[in-house]
Amino acid sequence: MIGIGVIGYGYWGPNLARVVTETEGCSIAAIADQSADALGRAHKRHPTARLAGDWQDLVNDPRVDAVMVATPVSTHFDIALAALRAGKHVFVEKPITETAAQAEILLEEAAHRGLTLMVDHTFVYTGAVQTIHDMIDSGALGDLYYYDSTRINLGLFQRDVNVLWDLAVHDLAILDFILPAEPMAVSASGVGHFPGSPENMAQLTIFFAGGAIAHLNVNWLAPVKIRQTLIGGSRKMIVYDDLQTSEKIKIYDRGVNLASDPEEVRKVMVSYRMGDMTSPQVSVKEALLTEIEHFVQCIEAKTRPVTDGASGLRVVKMLEAASLSMRQRGQPIDLVKLRRAS
Amino acid sequence: MIGIGVIGYGYWGPNLARVVTETEGCSIAAIADQSADALGRAHKRHPTARLAGDWQDLVNDPRVDAVMVATPVSTHFDIALAALRAGKHVFVEKPITETAAQAEILLEEAAHRGLTLMVDHTFVYTGAVQTIHDMIDSGALGDLYYYDSTRINLGLFQRDVNVLWDLAVHDLAILDFILPAEPMAVSASGVGHFPGSPENMAQLTIFFAGGAIAHLNVNWLAPVKIRQTLIGGSRKMIVYDDLQTSEKIKIYDRGVNLASDPEEVRKVMVSYRMGDMTSPQVSVKEALLTEIEHFVQCIEAKTRPVTDGASGLRVVKMLEAASLSMRQRGQPIDLVKLRRAS
Amino acid sequence: MIGIGVIGYGYWGPNLARVVTETEGCSIAAIADQSADALGRAHKRHPTARLAGDWQDLVNDPRVDAVMVATPVSTHFDIALAALRAGKHVFVEKPITETAAQAEILLEEAAHRGLTLMVDHTFVYTGAVQTIHDMIDSGALGDLYYYDSTRINLGLFQRDVNVLWDLAVHDLAILDFILPAEPMAVSASGVGHFPGSPENMAQLTIFFAGGAIAHLNVNWLAPVKIRQTLIGGSRKMIVYDDLQTSEKIKIYDRGVNLASDPEEVRKVMVSYRMGDMTSPQVSVKEALLTEIEHFVQCIEAKTRPVTDGASGLRVVKMLEAASLSMRQRGQPIDLVKLRRAS
Amino acid sequence: MIGIGVIGYGYWGPNLARVVTETEGCSIAAIADQSADALGRAHKRHPTARLAGDWQDLVNDPRVDAVMVATPVSTHFDIALAALRAGKHVFVEKPITETAAQAEILLEEAAHRGLTLMVDHTFVYTGAVQTIHDMIDSGALGDLYYYDSTRINLGLFQRDVNVLWDLAVHDLAILDFILPAEPMAVSASGVGHFPGSPENMAQLTIFFAGGAIAHLNVNWLAPVKIRQTLIGGSRKMIVYDDLQTSEKIKIYDRGVNLASDPEEVRKVMVSYRMGDMTSPQVSVKEALLTEIEHFVQCIEAKTRPVTDGASGLRVVKMLEAASLSMRQRGQPIDLVKLRRAS
């Protein structure tokens, strides 16, 4: 039985703690939060867990085998590093750290000590994204043309990170999972509508080797919540609407075929394929449960998580490059050069 | 009674001809198309109109007072110029011409001869866009933060223009009408998925003086049709879904307020306003009817159309700048410099 | 070339006339309406058609081979009978007549003279209803459990008929086409909210031989327009939403299986099948065009239309029985007894 | 601190237990279920609660002040009666009992002993239904014309009750809360598609004094889940879609006005009002939390709950009458006579 310590019992921590109680092979050993109110709520729901106002206490608690970090991004590095050094496995909220340099240090520390380091890229563990992954992987989608995602809603404005780090991070994590192609360049533009506040609205384009393109539209200042992703392939196209309770994934047998005969090209250029739409049943198991089960299994079997520290690092590198482009109104950033330089 | 000659009886021409028959003060005098089939269809619906295989015949026909040009973009300039030189008023499909230079020649010719030159920016004449315009104009929306539009569907692939010229042109026309602020820079990225074919998917960001931003997402290769625009202001926010038959416009009393007290800022940064949503009744009169009535009135009263040649020119200039940026993966184009240079 | 005379140029007549001009093998010979305004509009759109203020003129016009009746229900019988007696083929708006007795007279007259009598059950000619028909006919749906339709909107209040005759008639026509089972009984309830005005809201249940049930919910006083039909079968289930521009038909591989083992029955009773959903491409050809082509073909080939006078009669009989039940708050009407009595 | 005993830890019991832990003034004292698995899950989430395989143990437990009954309907009466006789306050799932006679016995027992008897009509405590109630109560809706509800989905088939008792009960509870008018008659029709199984699909019409009508459409065999209610009034109309996460309630300023001038009546009959739609923010507080807080307050203040035993009784009486009508294919049941007879 793996004893879990949850650090941070604000918005996401209670979900982590609840799911730990529903997962075989682990249990809640301790919960830490600076706020006495938060600890009071934690006690009501988890009356047998040790409570702590200081996260250091958890890191040093021998009943804690693994630490889950659900605190603000700016504290991820210090907490995760201390936990690893204390010999604890670590599960960190996305994004894994504030900088790529920090993530690299965590990776090294975990590798050196043989500990599991996992980043909470929750969407990777949904039935919907698993279905998309399998369709790309099996070739059912054909050549991937594009990934186009709208992820907008009202708030929560973050103090320490811009909207890319809060919302686009989800799509970058999904892309890191489903898309084998290498990203070549990124262009981002965005704006902060409030002086002294980070960018609250942004668009981001990633150019991949082979011609695929990803486009992300994120916004903290939208009147409605939208979570819609279109994925275009040469054989099929997908519309993925995460807010639907059923029919989250719709697969369209639609597309175009370039005319091959030059004479025909002159006249029609492309012919259209307008076939049926199918919405497959996808697993409705809670993604966080799948994910924490995976964390437990990786610890026990000493295997590498799907969303390991390295995937966390790749996502942070993309966020850094996109933020750089955004400060220059879309100036493209050459990721190949960056990779060579590092 | 103004005699109208319609040139081009393919996709859009039949709509122009039909609406002319429903408009007071004008009638269909003649229809031109290269295709005998098209002329056959034209005759069945408009048995009293003169038919011509060559558009020059219409331009020289004394029964024709005004010409409507519904041919491919590449032919707009030649036809419109010839018509103006023959003393006809001209109504041209969007975009007005292939280049800004061409549009400027048309403007001069029309001004010189005292003829009406109008571009068919149809959306400007919809009840929905009129409502949005009035809300911005009256201050009901507050400061404009952003205009974010998704305009995607499957096809029709164009041979002679990229997707910006076919789809983004609608949003640029709307922006030209509703937004008084000056555009300062543009960044666009996109891709053509088929060799030898123009870009079929693009995103475009426009930075306006005063901090507003426009973001356009256009795509010819989407499995579903979406026409959704979000408009964010400091007092209200709008969701405009043109595919809804009712409730096209939804106005949300939502937003954020920056905390002014520095202590409070440290804690919450912004407070949220989550008020009611209202969907006003908007006029359901056919936009094209409103537009052609306006064309007739402008001819009769010798007044300037809302979507005159100058608005057509501004839109083409933006399309040129965006295409330039797109060829450089989002490299921002400084529109202020461009304006000074010209 | 069959010469068509359209009687009634109000709401539906202009559609009939337009589609006649788009149909091979027929043309508009004449249009009749009591209103001078309506005739003015008719002339603008059909400058070569003969105009008449009195429908008798059309019935006696030798250029008219077939008459289309798009007048109020109360006038259908007189006009159709006169037209048949004058040797004209007849196409009548739904419902075919005000009473079953009238419909029977028309049927006899048409049969006696060898003329085509067709009722305008438009939905039967849509791609969606054809798809549903074929799924039931081929057995793909399995045993039919139910047909459940909601057909509501605001207005138009009719003066001479209740809401069943205006809205439920569409579903009764569809049921007559797709469902081979015999109706056994009907129960209807409804209310007129305005004194002196017919029922504006009603529900209707039809019990079919074999256990299938139809439920129709119709309402002239709903704030929103809904056209949604669920069709449940033992193998598949359909959701048909006529207001969708795409994906009108969704086919669900869902259902239940009764446990056969008595022990199992005690525990779970049914097991569920939750398979994929598929939305087939259905023909988007205008139903009215398909229908009028069919009318022309039936005249030329002297064949019986799918929606012949007999189907019009069956629908009117059901409307009569339902109205009778509705006046008695749902008192069931035994249709088998009624059939024996007649 | 009121000690709560939850009897039945299957589908709904865990929600009751969770919300008790979130409610001030009460705590989970004990949980009973026949299933060892269920008790195991209960222990994991509520490690300090007493567990029992026999509900009698809870009824006799002095730490238990109030009992919540979340067992099959057929057991409600025995458990609730035993609990009242043991001096416990009682909160029972809907429907309160299997028969009106049973409910009357519970009411008497609770009144006699001065105990709180409450039925879990959860929807009454939602922000949406509270908003509807207030609009009717304040006169904002005008005269109520109708309540039309569709409540359908796939499963769960019940063994011991038909679909009216499982699904229509929700609407009857809402109607009991929002509608002051007296029900006069009811007509219901339905069918069981599986031999030996109760009716799985039904429609129900209730005629109220004053002319309002309620229509309920319930179905266990629908491929999709729908929870949509239209409420028509003379001044406003409401569409309430409980599956929407935002905009659950839409209020339409639409309707018709009967022409008063007889001459005008002849021509147009009604004029239409097509005003704006407004979607108010409604409370998103969990209904069950509001409800259990109310239960605790009623116990403490010895006041009558909004959904007291009497409302549970009225709902059961309606279910009995509707089931009677349904067995006779819609034969209307005169509720006034029934009331006089009892």
Helix, strand counts (H, E) of chain A? 12, 15
CA distance B25 to B19: 12
Buried b (16+ CB within 10 A) or exposed e, A101-135: ebbbebbebbeeeebbbbbbbbbbbbbbbbbbbeb
What does CATH list as the number for C124-284+318-336?
A: 3.30.360.10
Provide the residue type at D299 as one letter: I
C335-342 long-range CB contacts below 8 Å, 24 or more apart? C335/C183, C335/C184, C335/C185, C335/C186, C336/C184, C336/C185
CA distance A306 to C116: 70
Judge: B189–A221 Cβ closer than 8 Å, yes or no: no
Nearest CA among C125, C164, C128 for reference residue C242: C128
Instruction: Name chain C contacts of A280, Cβ cutoff 8 Å.
Output: 276
Considering only alpha carbons, which residue of chain D is nearest residue C222?
D232
- Beta strands at A333-334 and B50-52: parallel, antiparallel or unpaired: unpaired
Residue C47, pLDDT score: 84
**Contact residues for B234 (Cβ-Cβ < 8 A; gap 6+):** B141, B142, B143, B145, B255
**Contact residues for A228 (Cβ-Cβ < 8 A; gap 6+):** A149, A150, A239, A240, A241, A242, A243
Asked if ipTM goes beyond 0.85, one says: yes
CA distance C162 to B4: 46
Residue D269, pLDDT score: 58
Q: Within an 8 Å CB–CB cutoff, is residue C274 touching chain A?
A: yes
DSSP D182: P
CA distance D118 to D94: 10
Pick among D131, D135, D244, D277 to test the B interface (most B CBs inside 10 A): D277
Using 50 as the pLDDT threshold, list the residues of chain D that sit under it.
Answer: none
Distance of CA A30 to the CA centre of its chain: 26
Q: Which of residues 305-334 of D touch C (CB under 8 A)?
A: 325, 328-332
Helix, strand counts (H, E) of chain C? 12, 15
**Contact residues for B279 (Cβ-Cβ < 8 A; gap 6+):** B247, B249, B250, B251, D276, D277, D278, D279
Calculate how close chain D gets to B287, using CA atoms only, in Å. 20
CA distance C98 to C84: 18
Buried b (16+ CB within 10 A) or exposed e, B192-222: bbbeebbbbbbbbbbbbeebbbbbbbbbbbb
Instruction: Name chain D contacts of A47, Cβ cutoff 8 Å.
Output: 47-48
Q: Is B87 left (phi over 0), alpha (psi -120 to 50) or beta?
A: left
Cis peptide before C180 (omega within 30 of 0): no
Instruction: Domain ranges for chain D, please list them.
Output: 2-115, 124-284+318-336
Residue B263, pLDDT score: 57
CA distance D295 to A304: 50
Backbone angles phi, psi at A139, to 5 degrees: 85, 0
Calculate how close chain B gets to A42, using CA atoms only, in Å. 22
**Contact residues for B97 (Cβ-Cβ < 8 A; gap 6+):** B73, B76, B77, B80, B103, B106, B312, B316
Instruction: Report in angstroms the alpha-carbon separations of A305 from A12, A312, B337, D146.
Output: 21, 11, 51, 57
Buried b (16+ CB within 10 A) or exposed e, D12-31: bbbebbbbbbebeebbbbbb
Mean predicted confidence (pLDDT) in A1-18? 96
DSSP 3-state of A238: strand
Judge: A276–C278 Cβ closer than 8 Å, yes or no: yes
Residue A322, pLDDT score: 98
Cα dihedral B162→B168→B169→B173 (10° resolution): -170
Instruction: Name chain A contacts of D48, Cβ cutoff 8 Å.
Output: 47
Q: Which two tokens stand for residue B168?
A: 């983004």
Provide the residue type at A218 as one letter: V
Residue D105, pLDDT score: 98
Closest partner CB to C276 (pick from A274, A275, A278): A278
B230-277 pLDDT tens trace: 999 999 999 999 999 889 999 999 988 766 665 555 555 567 788 899
Instruction: Report in angstroms the alpha-carbon separations of C331 from D186, D187, D189, D215, D332.
Output: 11, 8, 11, 16, 6
Using 50 as the pLDDT threshold, list the residues of chain B that sit under it.
Answer: none
Q: Which two tokens stand for residue A74?
A: 């700016």
Cis peptide before A95 (omega within 30 of 0): yes
Provide the residue type at C59 as one letter: V
Q: Residue C27 CB: number of other CB atoms within 10 A?
A: 17
Residue D197, pLDDT score: 84
Within a 13 Å sphere around the CA of A3, how many CA atoms are in the beta-carbon half?
15
CA distance D311 to D291: 15
CA distance A338 to A326: 16
Q: Within an 8 Å CB–CB cutoff, is residue C152 touching chain D?
A: yes
CA geometry: angle A166, A169, A170, nearest 5 deg: 105
Instruction: Report in angstroms the alpha-carbon separations of B211 from B70, B86, B183, B184, D254.
Output: 37, 45, 10, 10, 40
DSSP D166: I
Whether the Cβ atoms of residue D90 and residue D67 lie closer than 8 Å to each other: yes
Whether the Cβ atoms of residue D140 and residue D148 lie closer than 8 Å to each other: no
Q: Which of residues 10-29 of B touch A (CB under 8 A)?
A: none
DSSP D143: S
Closest partner CB to B275 (pick from D247, D275, D281): D281
CA distance C301 to C25: 13
Q: What is the pLDDT along chain C (342 residues), one digit of tens a residue?
A: 999 999 999 999 999 999 998 899 999 999 999 999 999 999 988 888 999 999 999 999 999 999 999 999 999 999 999 999 999 999 999 999 999 999 999 999 999 999 999 999 999 999 999 999 999 999 999 999 999 999 999 977 777 789 999 999 999 999 999 998 999 999 999 999 988 789 999 999 999 999 999 999 999 999 999 999 999 999 999 999 999 988 999 999 998 876 666 555 555 556 778 889 999 999 989 999 999 999 999 999 999 999 999 999 999 999 999 999 999 999 999 999 988 887
Q: Within an 8 Å CB–CB cutoff, is residue B283 touching chain D?
A: no
The secondary element (H helix, E strand) that includes residue C307 is none
- Beta strands at A237-241 and A249-258: parallel, antiparallel or unpaired: antiparallel
Q: Within an 8 Å CB–CB cutoff, is residue C284 touching chain A?
A: no
CA distance D128 to D144: 17
Instruction: Name chain A contacts of B150, Cβ cutoff 8 Å.
Output: 150, 217
Q: Which fold has domain A2-115?
A: Rossmann fold (3.40.50)
Considering only alpha carbons, which residue of chain B is nearest residue A265?
B159
CA distance C203 to C186: 11
**What does the DSSP assignment read for D81-121?**
HHHHHTT-EEEEESSS-SSHHHHHHHHHHHHHHT--EEEE-
Cis peptide before B243 (omega within 30 of 0): no
Pick among B278, B282, B283 to test the D interface (most D CBs inside 10 A): B278
CA distance B322 to C322: 63
Whether the Cβ atoms of residue C94 and residue C309 lie closer than 8 Å to each other: no
First to last CA, chain D: 41
pLDDT at A140 over 90: yes
Residue C129, pLDDT score: 98
The secondary element (H helix, E strand) that includes residue B90 is strand B89-93
CA geometry: angle D47, D51, D53, nearest 5 deg: 150
Whether the Cβ atoms of residue A97 and residue A103 lie closer than 8 Å to each other: yes
Judge: D276–B278 Cβ closer than 8 Å, yes or no: yes
* Paired strand residues for D294: none
pLDDT at A264 over 60: no
Instruction: Name chain D contacts of A245, Cβ cutoff 8 Å.
Output: 225, 243
DSSP D16: H
Judge: C154–D256 Cβ closer than 8 Å, yes or no: yes
B2-115 with B124-284+318-336: one CATH topology? no
Residue D85, pLDDT score: 98
Q: Within an 8 Å CB–CB cutoff, is residue B284 touching chain D?
A: no
Pick among A236, A239, A277 to test the C interface (most C CBs inside 10 A): A277
Q: Residue B115 CB: number of other CB atoms within 10 A?
A: 19
